[in-house]
Amino acid sequence: MTRDQAKALIKQEEPYFLDTAPKRINRHDTYVCPECGNGSGRHGTGIVLIPGSEHGKRWKCFVCGLCEDIIGLYMTYYGVGYREAFDDLYEHFDLDV
């Protein structure tokens, strides 16, 4: 598997490392925003899945404006660089590149 193929697979995954927010939107889980914490309250919406993204799933926070795929969310949540995020996600999803 090439790095680009692995990247495409990872971008289809849910951000398992984020806490789930209380609300579901369009039958999808929402997550606590790693940037501003939106979704951590009792009625918080959190970050929502943007429908129709052709390059993998993307989530948007309508409070702070964060808009990222799983790799960007991982980088924001853990405060790591792009390479470390890729390596950690590849390992988590047991992909061989």
Per-residue pLDDT tens over the stretch 61-88: 999 999 999 999 999 999 999 999 999 9
Report the pLDDT averaged over residues 17-40. 91
pLDDT at 3 over 80: yes
Q: If pLDDT is split at 50, 70 and 90, which confidence band does 52 have?
A: confident
Q: If pLDDT is split at 50, 70 and 90, which confidence band does 33 have?
A: very high
> 29 with 37: CB under 8 angstroms?
no
Q: Is the dihedral of CA 10, 11, 17, 23 positive or negative?
A: negative
What's the structural domain count of the chain? 1
Domain that holds residue 9: 3-92
- What pLDDT does 22 receive? 87
- What pLDDT does 97 receive? 63
Q: Is residue 97 part of a domain?
A: no
Residue 65 CB partners (closer than 8 Å, separation 6+): none
DSSP string, 37-82: -TT-STT---BEEPTT-TTS--EE-TTT--EE-HHHHHHHHHT--H
C-alpha span between 22 and 34 (Å, rounded)? 15
